[in-house]
């Protein structure tokens, strides 16, 4: 995950990713790294888009536009708990040619943060956790300056702690040894090798480290691991039968699973690296390790905004936001594991996620009655950013706005359509 350089001090090669944050509803990503893994080329991913009858033309347009910039497949769901229109385009699995389905499971990336925040707020309701207590109360001796960092600061990204996914060495190791399973303690050690971005409570910067620490607190207070907590306290009560915490890998990744791909965009042909077998739970943790599908994500975020999983007091806490920086490429705020997005068609709530192979968004109306869930199954994976990266995220941002407009039944503004249909960058001049 990344944010603008003047917010968290990440290196310029990651600044190109700023646009995707929150506009695509913030994700968990380790893009910008190369790999020697076997790749397949663009010619295998040219399947014709197919859409479920009854789907809006807007979402067909979004699917075509997203696939044009790299992902081999795209799925979407717009509706309520019980009624929905669905879009499915392209491929779920390049190797077999299996087509994508709007009921496929996928890595939800940082949508996981909303799950983690819900679990924390449930403990607040039980009197086991205090939002404004210092982290050192729960994890003594673990976090530098932990006496001045509160649980709330972890959940709304105002702690100032460096994000481990912004560390170049971590990304190199992830690329070279993609099957490595990192412990939570190893991940935070990567983060704590860096100075904080600012003093606690004195700024805002998106940091995966915050939610790894939140997960450690949850596990210590309950004596349960994250997989059990997600299952017992969220999935089972809501009847989410296809949602679980990868511990450490996704399971049952055959038919019904949307493979995720790192896509190299810089060359004359795209190259795709299948990351479906990589252990997202072994480096994403409580910041990004949940697997789900569009129906379950819709149900979950609807339940969150209706206050079905905790008290009204905790929903109010969750929706109390810190405004995003003025120079951020979108308008909105960040609550406790929940984003307020002031989109081109209105204010909505939710989150999103980027893993090595997925770019997903889940957004809902304030009352939870309407939801939109989308996933494109690729993320830029070149060794260095390039103009095609910029174009990918320009289209992705516009796709999010257009999807919200479709959910709300409003026309898509011309400015959004312009970005959605923007031309790809011209090839670099050769000498």
Which residues participate in catalysis according to the annotation? 110
Residue of 182, 180, 185, 181 lying closest to 220 (CA atoms): 185
Q: Is 18 left (phi over 0), alpha (psi -120 to 50) or beta?
A: alpha
Residue 148 phi/psi, 5-degree rounding, is -110, 5
| 3-state DSSP of 323-392 | ECCCCCCCCEEECCCCEEEEECCEEEEEEEEECCCCEEEEEECCCCCCEEEEEECEEECCCCCCHHHHHH
The rounded distance, in Å, linking the Cα atoms of 287 and 281 is 9
Geometric angle at alpha carbon 72, from 67 and 77, rounded to 5°: 70
Count CA atoms closer than 13 A to 137's CA, side-chain side.
13
Contact 97, 90 (CB under 8 A): no
Which residues, including other chains, have CB under 8 Å from residue 128's CB and lie 6 or more apart? 221, 222
**Is the dihedral angle over the CA atoms 79, 83, 87, 93 positive or is it negative?**
positive
Pair of tokens at residue 356:
């090595």
> Which H/E stretch holds residue 116?
helix 112-125
Q: Given the structure tokens 């929706």, which residue do they identify?
A: 319
- 173, 137, 159, 138: which is closest to 208 by C-alpha? 159
Residue 239 burial (CB < 10 Å; 0-12/13-18/19+)? exposed
| Backbone Cα Rg of the chain | 20
Alpha-helical runs (H) found in 291-413: 294-305, 312-318, 387-408
First-to-last alpha carbon distance for the chain, in angstroms, is 35
Q: Tokens representing 198?
A: 């600012």
């Amino acid at each position: 995950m990344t944010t603008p350089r003047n917010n968290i001090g990440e290196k310029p090669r990651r600044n190109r990713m700023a646009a995707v944050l929150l506009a695509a509803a913030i994700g968990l990503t380790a893009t910008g790294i190369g790999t020697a893994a076997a790749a397949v080329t663009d010619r295998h991913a040219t399947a014709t888009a197919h859409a479920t009858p009854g789907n809006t033309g807007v979402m067909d347009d979004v699917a075509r536009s997203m696939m044009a910039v790299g992902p081999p497949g795209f799925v979407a769901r717009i509706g309520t708990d019980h009624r929905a229109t669905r879009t499915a385009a392209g491929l779920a699995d390049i190797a077999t040619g299996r087509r994508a389905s709007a009921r496929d499971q996928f890595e939800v990336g940082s949508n996981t943060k909303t799950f983690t925040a819900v679990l924390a707020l449930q403990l607040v309701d039980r009197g086991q956790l205090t939002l404004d207590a210092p982290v050192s109360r729960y994890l003594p001796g673990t976090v530098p300056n932990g006496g001045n960092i509160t649980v709330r600061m972890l959940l709304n990204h105002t702690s100032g702690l460096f994000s481990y996914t912004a560390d170049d060495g971590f990304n190199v190791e992830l690329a070279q040894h993609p099957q490595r399973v990192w412990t939570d303690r190893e991940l935070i050690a990567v983060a704590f090798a860096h100075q904080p971005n600012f003093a606690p409570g004195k700024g805002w910067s998106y940091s995966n480290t915050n939610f790894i620490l939140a997960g450690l607190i949850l596990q210590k207070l309950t004596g349960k691991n994250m997989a059990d907590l997600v299952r017992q306290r969220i999935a089972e009560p809501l009847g989410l039968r296809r949602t679980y915490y990868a511990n450490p890998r996704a399971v049952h990744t055959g038919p019904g699973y949307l493979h995720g791909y790192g896509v190299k965009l810089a060359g004359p042909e795209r190259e795709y690296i299948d990351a479906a077998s990589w252990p997202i739970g072994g480096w994403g943790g409580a910041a990004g390790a949940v697997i789900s599908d569009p129906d379950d994500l819709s149900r979950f975020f609807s339940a969150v905004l209706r206050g079905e999983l905790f008290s009204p007091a905790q929903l109010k806490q969750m929706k109390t936001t810190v405004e995003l920086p003025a120079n951020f490429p979108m308008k909105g705020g960040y609550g406790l594991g929940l984003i307020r997005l002031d989109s081109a068609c209105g204010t909505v709530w939710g989150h999103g996620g980027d893993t090595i192979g997925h770019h997903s968004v889940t957004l809902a109306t304030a009352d939870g009655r309407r939801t939109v869930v989308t996933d494109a199954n690729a993320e830029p994976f070149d060794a260095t950013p390039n103009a095609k990266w910029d174009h990918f995220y320009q289209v992705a941002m516009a796709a999010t706005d257009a999807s919200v407009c479709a959910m709300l039944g409003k026309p898509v503004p011309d400015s959004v359509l312009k970005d959605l249909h923007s031309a790809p960058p011209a090839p670099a001049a050769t000498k």
